Amino acid sequence: MQQDFYIFRHGQTDYNLEHRWQGCGIDAPLNETGRSQALALVPKLAEKKLEIIYSSCLRRAAETADIVARQLNLPRVFCPDLREICLGNAEGLRADEVEARDPEFFRCWMSPDPQYAALAFPGGESKLEVRRRMLKALEQIADNAPQFNCFGIASHEDSILQLLENFGISLPHIANTSLYHLVRRDGRWELGD
């Protein structure tokens, strides 16, 4: 049995424009550009023949999922584990502000070197924890909804980046409403086209 997962990042928020880090403690709404980006995503997702959309509970992802779901006449289900990474005391700050607080920690956090994947800001999650959480969330969605073969997944930049790390893809950044395809075939995960 094959299940397809089309994972997309939410549309733009004002925090994105200000280059502020939005962890799971920042519940910013989409701005006008973000709503337009979500609408522009609809034709791409319509081609995929989605049957249902699962979304993070945070407003920016939920709004993006709602726009897509309404346009495609699909059900939308909240999944709290699709939320953004918890950045603890770094949430709401710009990268330069985080770096000024602790340059060495910032350098390690920003490094793609796997030895730093277990680091976390005070009160936050590590990248490794997010990788496990995101993959577990997709596993649970697949197992709990075997009647569906094609899922839309609305989530967040850092959570998607960490999910992709499970598949050997290391990216420094992904744009708003970027789209990725994962396939679960007979209980095993792989990258889709």
As annotated, the active-site residues are 10, 84
Distance CA 76, CA 61 (A): 11
Q: How far apart are the first and last CA of the chain?
A: 17
Cα 76 vs. chain centroid, distance in angstroms?
A: 16
User: For the chain, how big is the Rg over CA atoms in Å?
Assistant: 16
Q: Which residues sit opposite 152 in a β-bridge?
A: 6, 53
Q: Is 173 exposed, middle or buried (0-12, 13-18, 19+ CB in 10 A)?
A: exposed
**Tokens 């730093």 label which residue?**
116
Distance CA 58, CA 25 (A): 9
What are the start-end ranges of the H helices in 47-126? 59-72, 95-101, 103-110
